[in-house]
Amino acid sequence: MQKTLFISDLHLTPTRPDITDCFMRFMQNEAIECDALYVLGDLFDFWIGDDDDSPFARQIKQAFKHLTDQGIPCYFTCGNRDFLVGKRFAKQTGITLLPDEHVVDLYGRRAVVLHGDTLCTQDERYLEFRAKVHQPWLQRLFKCLPMFVRRKLVARIQSDIRQDKQQKSMDIMDVTPSEVVNVMHRHQVDLMIHGHTHRPNIHQNTDSSQTRIVLGDWFEQGSVLIVKHNDFQLEQREFFH
Ligand code: LP5
Ligand code: MN
């Protein structure tokens, strides 16, 4: 049976081996049988650079390499937590890096795929922050720092901005409907697939016949979108403790 799989928002980290185990099982048993795997951002809790050669980083890279070696194409869109995944990671794993917005053909139906953070246009403070950390010169500078300094800096910034996020309303952190329409219109598609908001759902707009599929996060269970011909299923995968 032909199927394409989509995942996002795993937030993999060495401190959550239950998530990593579920991901490894998914890669070995499920992804190995699909036509293509799309990872739509936030695979990692934070990615500090492609030169991360820790056992944890190696384990994840190896899982992708195994898949792509078997001829399964893997596509990767960067999220707001792993925007430093780059060419070296792609080369080491065999994945294909996608731009922020990308159109895919899913068994004859075209869909725009993206992480989803850029759809939240009301979250102005986040978009300002995003513009800052996406500056190439700043990224180059960050990658020159020793690993332990990068880790410390990230932990520091994460704890500094946690309060800022807690003060935001749920509405501000959801997608802006008009931006969803804009992006679909720009790409001339009636289907959008994204993650980021952690609000898994299949939104069907009956007026415009547009569909927006939101992937789920991997905090308490795994979450996978399975696409077959004209069929979309959001499924969960259990964690074992
Ligand atoms: O990921 P999630 O769902 O928790 O929250 C996101 C937005 N938050 C982020 C931050 C990341 O999670 C963690 C980033 C670690 C920083 C590492 C920087 C290393 C430097 C690299 C340099 C190349 O993306 C959150 C959104 C939420 O999604 C929903 O959409 O609201 O956004 C924020 O909380 C951001 C704050 O609002 C911004 C606060 C401004 C603070 C300014 C600090 C300046 C730091 C400059 C960096 C050098
Ligand atoms: Mn995100």
Taking CA atoms only, the protein residue closest to ligand 1 atom 32 is 126
Residue 241 scores a pLDDT above 80: no
Q: Which of 11, 83, 127, 129 to mutate to test the pocket of ligand 1 (most atoms within 8 A of CB)?
A: 129
Strand order in the sheet with 4-7: 96-97, 74-76, 36-39, 4-7, 222-228, 231-237
Domain boundaries, the chain: 4-237
Report the alpha-carbon angle 181-9-102, nearest 5: 40
The two three-digit tokens of residue 154, written as one number: 């990230």
Starting at the earlier edge strand, list the strands of the sheet with 191-194. 102-106, 109-114, 191-194, 210-214, 201-205
Query: From CA 7, how far away is CA 239, in angstroms rounded?
Result: 15
Q: Tell me the CA end-to-end span of the chain in Å, nearest whole number.
A: 31
The pLDDT of residue 38 is above 90 = yes
Ligand 1, CB within 6 Å, residue ranges = 46, 80-81, 117, 120, 123, 125-126, 129, 132-133, 138-139, 142, 154, 157-158, 161, 164-165, 168, 173
Could you report the per-residue pLDDT of 51-68, keeping only the tens digit for each?
999 999 999 999 999 999
Read off the pLDDT of residues 209-218 as tens digits, 9 standing for 90 and up.
899 999 999 9
CATH code that applies to domain 4-237: 3.60.21.10
Residue 196, annotated as binding a ligand: yes
Query: pLDDT tens digits, residue range 14-36?
Result: 999 999 999 999 999 999 999 99
Q: Which ligand minimizes its atom distance to the CA of 196?
A: 2
∠ Cα 125 174 103 (to 5°) = 100
More reliable by pLDDT, 241 or 37? 37
The pLDDT tens digits for 118-155 are 999 999 999 999 999 999 999 999 999 999 999 999 99
Rg (CA), the chain: 18
pTM: 0.97
Which is nearest to 222 in space by CA: 240, 206, 203, 196? 240
Q: The tokens of 169 are what?
A: 């309303």
